[in-house]
Amino acid sequence: MLQQDQNRKKIWGKKGSLKVTRLNDHIDELRDTLRQSVLDKDHLKLVHKEEKKQAKEDEKDRKAQLKHKQYSEESEESRKKRVYVLNFKGNIAADAVASLREEITAVLSMAENKDEVILRLESPGGMVHAYGLASSQLLRIKNEKIPLTICVDKVAASGGYMMACLADKLIAAPFAIIGSIGVLVQLPNFHRVLKKHDVDYEQISAGEYKRTLSMFGEITQKGKDKVQEDVENIHDIFKLWVKDHRPSIEIEKISTGETWVGTQAKERYMVDEIKTSDECIVDACNDAEVFEVEYEFKKSIQDKLGRVLEESSARLFSRWFERSKDEFYQ
């Protein structure tokens, strides 16, 4: 199944669909809509005339190039740079990695060294192994020597920063939350509740440290010490990862688990530049063809219903919050 309009194509496969949007066209549409209201008719007519003339010349040059070179390697080298925009909105389990891996596979099938990948990243972090996999997907881009720019508009903390530090250029908005280079383990324990009600809990395992802390077993000092050792080992690996990919930072000063806003993070060399992803993409559209690439998995009826209920709950909470705020300030 193929669906397309002026600037968007969605192609369905066995697992899901790959949607590609040419962002140059999107930005042009925004500009055209605005100037329809701002410019007078004569001025607008003149602008359209100049644009048609330029488009005609560009098309003529393109056809001449194809005719003489038959789209040879030389003509491919002379093409405009392409920028591929990906999005990653992470939760605790980094579920977005499922789409990210498909998007990267698609991009790497076409991208060349002259091109660029821009990742818009938003994540407060989560499970170590999940964000380790997400980071490994970004390494695929690095290994192919494709320039990688990562933009953080809101937050890239903990596992989110594990991903962000892989960028060749890391860009953050002024108040984006950056950092939290630390490791946390937390677990409720109901052993004393069970003991109070004379409920036995049996756990059979092989291997001295197969179980250290659990929700129902008794917490021992030996178990706590082992978990502390494991947490510190993971923290050391995390610090080494960040230091390897951003050697200019003073790792001991920024690996305390603290977070900083974008401007503070730049002072600590944790990011390279302060601006929003919108600025980055608009700038790219000035001298490159920019494509947003999104992979969407096929959803069951249950998934769609769950999404509807989730969005409805979010809207109800938002309305309640706004109403409460209004009442508070009255």
102 shares its domain with 228: no
Task: Over range 182-193, report the average pLDDT.
Answer: 88
> Does 5 score more than 60 pLDDT?
no
Q: Which domain holds residue 272?
A: 82-180+258-322
> Does 7 score more than 90 pLDDT?
no
Last residue of a domain, one of 245, 272, 298: 245
Count up the domains in the chain and report the number.
Answer: 3
> Does 56 score more than 90 pLDDT?
no
Look at residue 13 in the predicted model and tell me its pLDDT: 65
CA distance 66 to 75: 8
CA distance 113 to 147: 7
CA distance 265 to 325: 32
> Does 303 score more than 50 pLDDT?
yes
The region of weakest confidence among 29-33, 239-243, 309-313 is 309-313
Last residue of a domain, one of 37, 60, 79: 79
CATH assignment at residue 318: 3.90.226.10
114 shares its domain with 147: yes
67 shares its domain with 88: no
171 shares its domain with 91: yes
Pairing of strands 16-22, 288-297: antiparallel
Task: Over range 2-26, report the average pLDDT.
Answer: 73
Look at residue 69 in the predicted model and tell me its pLDDT: 57
Contacts of 274 (CB under 8 A, 6+ apart): 171, 172, 173, 174, 262, 263, 266
CA angle 205, 207, 211 (to 5 degrees): 60
By C-alpha distance, which of 175, 203, 196, 200 is closest to 274? 175
Look at residue 74 in the predicted model and tell me its pLDDT: 46
Look at residue 67 in the predicted model and tell me its pLDDT: 65
Instruction: Evaluate whether residue 6 is within a structural domain.
Output: no
> Does 28 score more than 80 pLDDT?
yes
Cut 0.85: pTM above it: no
Instruction: Evaluate whether residue 3 is within a structural domain.
Output: no
70 shares its domain with 88: no
Look up 158 and say whether it is catalytic: yes
Q: Determine the angle formed by the axes of helices 41-69 and 23-38, rounding to 10 degrees.
A: 160
130 or 313, higher pLDDT: 130
pLDDT tens digits for range 74-109: 455 668 899 999 999 999 999 999 999 999 999 999
Task: Over range 1-11, report the average pLDDT.
Answer: 51
Last residue of a domain, one of 79, 107, 126: 79
The DSSP H or E segment spanning 37 is helix 23-38
> Does 244 score more than 90 pLDDT?
yes
Look at residue 311 in the predicted model and tell me its pLDDT: 66
By C-alpha distance, which of 211, 239, 206 is closest to 223? 211
Q: Catalytic pick from 41, 67, 196, 210?
A: 210
Q: Catalytic pick from 99, 123, 135, 158?
A: 158
| DSSP class per residue in 75-105 | HHHTSPEEEEEEEEE--TT-TTHHHHHHHHH
pLDDT tens digits for range 113-161: 999 999 999 999 999 999 999 999 999 999 999 999 999 999 999 999 9
111 shares its domain with 163: yes
86 shares its domain with 166: yes
176 shares its domain with 208: no
Quick one: tokens of 137? Answer: 């997907």
106 shares its domain with 162: yes
